[in-house]
Amino acid sequence: MTETDSTLSPADAALALLGEGCALQALTPEVSPRRYFRVASVASDVDVDVAGVTGAGESTSWLVVLSPTPAPQATTGFLADLDIRVPQIGKVIDGAYLVEDLGDRHLVHEPTAVNYQELLKQWRVLSTAQLPAAHPNLALALDHKLFDFELGMFRDCYLLDYRALSLSAAELGAVNDAIKELAQLASAGPLCLQHRDFHSRNILLPEHGDGAWIDHQDLRIGPLFYDLASLYTDAYADLPDDVYALLRDQVAPLGASFGLDPGAAEERFLLTALQRILKALGTFGKVLANGRNDFQPAETQARLLALALLDQLAIYPELRKLISQT
């Protein structure tokens, strides 16, 4: 995506998007560079409609988003056309935009099997869809080159920077060999559309209506089990056993629908899950090294998940040894 003006202040964005008299309250930042703000107050002597108005004349509450990348209008429209609920986008300026405020309750706050069943039903619609020819994400893919880059972040940002491990030449060679091989194995087809960052913090549970997908701007084609593996390796949520069982139960039938036998489907799911969780560890290592200690629980959970997957696959013993070091 094209970079936009990243120097815009919250006050200037609120003035341009909502008019005079609005004070903003910053919401807790996530990993991405986007920053979200809710209207905290309106000056008593200023007539400001902080809700805004939709084209249908219905009142809609908005969040102000400061973003170095453009508003995700293309993926918002695409998912809405599939009847997958997404927050609508309001006024857009360079460096900021309005997005529908659907509240602060996410799937992570209610990770029940019923909610995951509904989410999987929506995802199946995505998995059989195709991006239109003019869509800007059409050329993007979760391929071995991207996976190799992400696993390089795991090595550099997690093992070397955050964990500060002193690797011998043999250990570094083993890590690099594992990265190269896993990037190839985890990117193998079949392929279908993927949300790209499918986890419990990116699904809103509004007070009324269906759950809503957020952070979907990087939607693209990728290996069949990528989003399912992302849900399974979600380091933000304490998933109950019935949800883990539900997610694993999707592997064989999903694979069969794309021509994979159960054994091949299971192996590709686990390899994709391993790549996904190592990528997450790279991200957590980067933000933790920058002082975001609120991500420590997620890093701990991700490390345990990575070790479990390495045990199930019985591969990369040297890598397992390094991750397990305290």
Query: Domains plus CATH for the chain?
Result: 10-100 (no CATH), 107-324 (3.90.1200.10)
State how far the Cα of 111 lies from the Cα of 28, in Å rounded to an integer: 20
The pLDDT, as a whole number, for residue 30 is 77
Measure the CA–CA gap between 87 and 97, rounded to whole angstroms.
Answer: 12
Rounded Cα distance between 79 and 139, Å, is 18
> What pLDDT does 43 receive?
56
Q: What is the 3-state secondary structure (H, E, C) of 92-157?
A: EECCEEEEECCCCCEHHHCCCHHHHHHHHHHHHHHHCCCCCCCCCCCCCECCHHHHHHHHHHHHHH
User: In terms of Cα–Cα distance, which of 306, 308, 300, 305 is closest to 326?
Assistant: 300
**Per the structure block, which two tokens stand in for 116?**
């995951």
The position carrying tokens 């070091």 is 325
CA gap 273, 232 in Å, rounded: 8
Predicted local confidence at residue 59, as pLDDT: 54
Predicted local distance difference test score (pLDDT) of residue 242: 98
- CA-CA distance, 202 to 205, in Å (whole number)? 10
User: Mean pLDDT by 10-residue block, N- to C-terminus, for the chain (326 residues)?
Assistant: 66 92 85 88 51 47 94 97 97 96 96 98 97 96 98 98 96 97 97 97 94 97 98 97 98 97 98 98 96 94 98 97 91
CA-CA-CA-CA dihedral for 141, 273, 187, 190, to nearest 10: -90
Give the Cα separation of 263 and 40 in Å (integer): 53
- Looking at residue 16, its pLDDT comes to 93
pLDDT given at position 33: 87
pTM for the whole structure: 0.91
Under DSSP, is residue 19 helix (H, G, I), strand (E, B) or coil?
coil
Residue 21 has a pLDDT of 81
Q: What is the pLDDT of residue 6?
A: 57
How far is it, in rounded angstroms, from Cα 301 to Cα 233? Answer: 9
pLDDT of residue 148: 98
